[in-house]
Amino acid sequence: MRVAVNGYGTIGKRVADAVLQQKDMDLAGVTKTRPDFGAKVAESRRIPMYSVFPDRINDFEKRGLSIQGCLGDLISKTDVVVDCTPAGVGRTYRESYARHGSKGIFQGGEEADVAEVTFVAQCNYESAVGKRFVRVASCNTTGLCRTLSTVDRSLGIGEVHASLVRRAVDPFDSTRGPIDAIVPSCSSVPTHHSKDVREVLPHLRILTMAVTVPTKIMHVHMIAARLSREVSQDEAIDVLEATPRTLVLDGRDRLESTSKVMELGRDLGRRRNDMWETVVWEDTITTSDHWLCWTQGVHQEAIVIPEVIDAIRAVFDSVDAETSMNMTDRALGIFQSRF
């Protein structure tokens, strides 16, 4: 499978690296709009680079960067484009991907109707098989769907309340806030995450609220799920441990904050310190009446990367869900259940 990555930003550069680590995929190239540090990083990693805009090829060459052509040239050489353009921009490229006979994988920043299906590998891999356009769920939605689908399958969920505490910006971003403020999500309650989760898990009754806080890495979700029966704390821990791509953090490891979880990512020697796993703080797993509560964290830059890789295999119907997820997890070094 020849894969192109349109947009070499937060998600695109991670997708490109993950594609390079898969034995069954080739990276045809990535696109850049400007010859900035990202373009130099791509060149240093010998990744073929294409200019999004034909009239800017010169700008790259003036900086001594080699450009293989423009976006159209790249698409015509590939089987699938992973669209990693800014939120809302992906839609404008859809016809162009189709015209070149290429499939397209979009990100959660696009509206759901950009694609035929919104995708989380462990939830609905099969429904993406053979499709032309697939949208990978957003980071928050992916994190929610991973644990909720497993808890639902194992214990039966009546309804869910999830309160999201969102990081303000990505680490590189020095242009926006908030600083020293908590910003409630006022524009719509329930927030769009309810709707997004139901794109993947249509039957789930979920109510989401959100605030944004001055941190740069990891969203945190406080979740309360009403179960169809009472369960013990041990049973709940077992279920969350068995959740694919989900790491239950042992209290004795003292990883009790988002910054400590990211320190683990640094110590593991992972490129960019990425944590692809949803993390669940074990000490927060509690049962009360029919409610199961837990608090989980999502590294917003990284969590969707394995899903993108699986989505590529799904649209080409190359292997089944379990095989694809195993291949992806082994290639990236994703933990199962415990560190």
Among 84, 139, 145, 186, the one annotated catalytic: 139
The footprint of a second copy on residues 265-284 (CB under 8 A) is 281, 283-284
Asked if 230 interacts with a second copy (CB under 8 A), we say no
Can you tell me which of 72, 130, 158, 184 binds a second copy, judged by CB under 8 A? 184
Asked if 169 interacts with a second copy (CB under 8 A), we say no
Asked if 163 interacts with a second copy (CB under 8 A), we say yes
> How big is the site for a second copy, counted in residues (CB under 8 A)?
44
* Binding track, positions 295-314, relative to a second copy; x by CB under 8 A: x-x-----------------
The footprint of a second copy on residues 38-77 (CB under 8 A) is none
**Closer CB to a second copy, residue 292 or residue 312?**
292
Can you tell me which of 52, 213, 237, 242 binds a second copy, judged by CB under 8 A? 213
Contact assessment for residue 31 and residue 3, using Cβ atoms and an 8 Å cutoff = no
Task: State in angstroms the smallest separation of the CB of 209 from a second copy.
Answer: 4
**Closer CB to a second copy, residue 25 or residue 148?**
148
Can you tell me which of 41, 87, 98, 189 binds a second copy, judged by CB under 8 A? 189
- In SS3 terms, the chain reads as CEEEEECCCHHHHHHHHHHHCCCCCEEEEEEECCCCHHHHHHHHCCCCEEECCHHHHHHHHHCCCCCCCEHHHHHHCCCEEEECCCCCCHHHHHHHHHHCCCEEEECCCCCHHHCCEEECHHHHHHHHCCCCEEEECCHHHHHHHHHHHHHHHHHCEEEEEEEEEEECCCCCCCCCCCCCCCEECCCCCCCHHHHHHHHHCCCCCEEEEEEEECCCCCEEEEEEEEECCCCCHHHHHHHHHCCCCEEEECHHHCCCCHHHHHHHHHHCCCHHHCCCCEEEEHHHCEEECCEEEEEEEECCCCCCHHHHHHHHHHHCCCCCHHHHHHHHHHHHCCCCECC
**Closer CB to a second copy, residue 129 or residue 222?**
222
**Closer CB to a second copy, residue 36 or residue 263?**
263
Asked if 180 interacts with a second copy (CB under 8 A), we say yes
Can you tell me which of 101, 158, 251, 333 binds a second copy, judged by CB under 8 A? 251
**Closer CB to a second copy, residue 142 or residue 212?**
212
Return the number of other C-beta atoms located less than 10 Å from residue 171's C-beta.
15
Active-site residue, 84 included: no
Asked if 291 interacts with a second copy (CB under 8 A), we say yes
Asked if 87 interacts with a second copy (CB under 8 A), we say no
Asked if 259 interacts with a second copy (CB under 8 A), we say yes
Letter for the amino acid at 199?
E
- Rounded-to-integer distance, Cα 11 and Cα 138, Å: 11
Only one residue has tokens 């859809």, namely 94
Asked if 183 interacts with a second copy (CB under 8 A), we say yes
Can you tell me which of 78, 102, 215, 243 binds a second copy, judged by CB under 8 A? 215
CA neighbor of 117 nearest in space, from 103, 133, 104: 133
Q: Which residues pair with 50 in a beta bridge?
A: 31
Q: Which residues pair with 268 in a beta bridge?
A: none
Can you tell me which of 187, 202, 252, 267 binds a second copy, judged by CB under 8 A? 187
Task: State in angstroms the smallest separation of the CB of 147 from a second copy.
Answer: 15
Q: Which residues bind a second copy (CB under 8 A)?
A: 161, 163, 165, 167, 178, 180-187, 189-190, 207, 209-211, 213-218, 220, 222, 224, 251, 256-260, 281, 283-286, 288, 291, 293, 295, 297
List active site positions.
139
